[in-house]
């Protein structure tokens, strides 16, 4: 695996299908599922590791984001990644950087409303990564269903020459969707967080709300939305940690 820490050194081999898996590091089995899916369809598999400050609203969420480059590098290598691209913040957003992608439409509700600027940061960094790596295929997790919908809209609206592939949400044995933020849950908070997958399993907004409230988990939202098909989506705070999760509703592809 080639490790590239600078845009100036990035030289993606152009043979066959170039596949891209963008991540913010703190890699877990959910990311590994993306790598496995991407490995199977790519001749050259590029993973990016970049904690994109532009998509964080709360500075303490950014500061608390787990970072362990050596561990991530080992996981990416074991997953068969060919090239790991991990640029510095100042190279991606140098002084004078002033051009942003402002997604509307599917980016406006739920996470877009709860985290102003979040999808502008996501869309901008993904467009930059698509331009830098020039993949034919790029993989994203269904765990962030609205993000998938926003990126498919970005590709459509800006005529990008990349196809978005989606990998189902990977969960722990207890049902909690894997997330880098789970590391910040205490034992007790993790038990309470299990109300989220239980709520989603009902497939019903009112029942889901009742389950969350009974568990003392106050949701930011519980909504049915069309994210690449009808989806029941939840965001909730457990202690200091804000978690999101969703399930495709019956009949969805
Ligand atoms: P992140 O590093 O959190 O930005 O995530 C990088 C990619 O991994 C995104 O496309 C996420 O949707 C995806 N991802 C994160 N957690 C999971 C999970 N539990 N199952 C499937 N995909 C995931």
Range 17-26 average pLDDT: 98
Decide: 31 in ligand 1 pocket, CB within 6 A: yes
Find tokens 């020039």 and name the residue: 134
Q: Hey, whose CA ends up nearest to atom 17 of ligand 1?
A: 30
**Which ligand 1 atom lies nearest to the CA of residue 139?**
10
Question: Which pLDDT does position 89 carry in this prediction?
Answer: 97
- State in Å: Cα 213 to ligand 1 middle: 26
The confidence score (pLDDT) of residue 225 equals: 98
252: pLDDT strictly greater than 70 = no
- pLDDT category at 58 given cuts 50, 70, 90 is confident
- The CB of 33 under 6 Å from ligand 1? The reply is yes
Label the pairing between strands 2-4 and 83-85: parallel
Catalytic residue annotation: 31
Which two three-digit tokens encode residue 223? Answer: 């909504």
What pLDDT digit, counting tens, does each position of 172-190 carry? 999 999 999 999 999 999 9
Ligand 1 atom with the smallest distance to the CA of 31 is: 8
Q: How do residues 184-236 score in pLDDT, each as one tens digit?
A: 999 999 999 999 999 999 999 999 999 999 999 989 999 999 998 999 999 99
φ, ψ dihedrals at 218, nearest 5°: -90, 115
Distance 143 CA to ligand 1 centre (A): 6
Q: How far is CA 132 from CA 38, 135, 247, in A?
A: 18, 9, 32
CA-closest residue to ligand 1 atom 13: 141
Strands 230-238 and 218-226: antiparallel
Cα 22 from Cα 142, distance rounded (Å) = 14
- Residues 89-97: what's their mean pLDDT? 98
> Residue 119: pLDDT above 50?
yes
**Reported confidence tier of residue 10, pLDDT bands at 50, 70, 90:** very high
CA dihedral 227, 89, 22, 241 (to 10 degrees): -50
Which ligand 1 atom lies nearest to the CA of residue 27? 2
Spacing, Cα 11 to ligand 1 middle (Å) = 25
Mean pLDDT computed over 69-81: 98
pLDDT given for residue 60 in this prediction: 77
- Write the residue with the smallest CA distance to atom 6 of ligand 1: 23
Mean predicted confidence (pLDDT) in 7-17? 97
Q: Report which protein residue has its CA nearest ligand 1's atom 11.
A: 141
- Average pLDDT over the chain reads 96
Our answer on whether the CB atom of 48 is closer than 6 Å to any ligand 1 atom is no
Ligand 1 pocket test: pick from 24, 84, 143 the residue with the most ligand atoms within 8 Å of its Cβ.
Answer: 143
Which one has a higher pLDDT value, 63 or 250? 63
Question: Which residues, in sequence order, are bridge partners of residue 49?
Answer: 23
| Mean pLDDT of the 77-96 span | 98
**Residue 253 pLDDT > 50, yes or no?**
no
Written as six digits, the tokens of 241 are: 């940690």
Distance 35 CA to ligand 1 centre (A): 11
In percent, the amount of the chain with pLDDT more than 90 equals 93
Percent pLDDT > 70 in the chain is: 99
pLDDT of residue 251: 63
Residue 127 has pLDDT above 70, yes or no: yes
């Amino acid at each position: 695996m080639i490790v590239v820490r600078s845009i100036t050194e990035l030289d993606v081999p152009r043979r066959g299908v170039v596949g891209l898996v963008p991540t913010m590091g703190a890699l877990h089995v959910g990311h590994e599922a993306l790598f496995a899916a991407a490995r199977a369809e790519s001749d050259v598999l590029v993973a990016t590791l970049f904690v994109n400050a532009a998509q964080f609203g709360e500075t303490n969420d950014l500061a608390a984001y787990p970072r362990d480059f050596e561990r991530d590098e080992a996981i990416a290598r074991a997953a068969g990644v060919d090239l790991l691209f991990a640029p510095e913040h100042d190279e991606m957003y140098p002084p004078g950087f002033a051009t942003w992608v402002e997604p509307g439409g599917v980016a406006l509700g739920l996470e877009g409303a709860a985290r102003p600027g979040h999808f502008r940061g996501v869309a901008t960094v993904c467009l930059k990564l698509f331009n830098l790596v020039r993949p034919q295929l790029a993989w994203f997790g269904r765990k962030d269903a609205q993000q998938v919908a926003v990126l498919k809209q970005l590709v459509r609206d800006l005529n990008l020459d990349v196809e978005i592939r989606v990998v189902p949400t990977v969960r722990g044995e207890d049902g909690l969707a894997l997330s880098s933020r789970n590391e910040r849950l205490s034992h007790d908070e993790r038990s309470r967080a299990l109300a989220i997958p239980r709520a989603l399993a009902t497939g019903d907004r009112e029942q889901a709300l009742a389950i969350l409230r009974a568990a003392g988990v106050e949701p930011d939202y519980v909504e049915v939305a069309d994210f690449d098909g009808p989806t029941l989506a939840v965001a909730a705070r457990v202690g200091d940690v804000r978690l999101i999760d969703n399930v495709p509703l019956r009949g969805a592809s």
